Amino acid sequence: LASGEALALVLYTGTDTRGAMNSAPPRSKVASVDLQVNLLAKVLFGLTASTALAMVAVPFIQRAASSRLASAEMSQQLLQALLDFCRFLLLFSSIIPISLRVALDMAKLVYKLQMTSDARMPGLQVRSSTLPEELGGIDFLLTDKTGTLTRNEMLFRKLHLGFAFLSPQTLGEAQAAVAHAAAGEDDAPPPAGASSDLGEGGGGGGG
């Protein structure tokens, strides 16, 4: 303004707000098995198309090289080559396993019925058809919700501390060692399962 004062209020609404600008579009969830089947179908379709193209292109190139064709004959030969390509494509289409998708869907339905009718898991509801293969693809389960998954019932199997290995067989000795350490006794015997490891570590430190 050349002179005077002006009051203005700037409002950000809709897609101009910070929350809307920072939000990313939702990602579609696809099972790993479906991704593998889609990749397999794409590779087989490319193989089918390349095979059909080779079956048409080789005779066409040989005929074109052996004799000079006029423009009318050339257009007719191209049309015939296009028709032959479509025929070979339909002929080789059996390479693509279309029935595999149907078989997978039927298998998912059977898996769902088996999981919902399992007496060891009462009240289970399968809300996604991709649940069985996703559960079968799990290698490691890391969680801090112990009560949710184990119903507050956990069994001690093994404990590795980097220099000592503890198991249920040596748990009593480990408890005794902790009790001696708490009482201030430094000559507490190490756990039996970790005697060899501790001996090697002590020898290395002394050297």
Provide the annotated active-site residues. 144
Phi, psi at residue 11, to the nearest 5°? -120, 135
Asked whether 105 and 132 are in contact (CB, 8 A), the reply is: no
Q: Which of 169, 162, 157, 175 shows the shortest CA–CA distance to 193?
A: 169
Asked whether 159 and 147 are in contact (CB, 8 A), the reply is: no
- Taking each continuous run of H as one helix and of E as one strand, the counts in the chain are 8, 2
DSSP 141: -
Write out the H or E segment, with its range, that includes residue 200.
Answer: helix 195-206
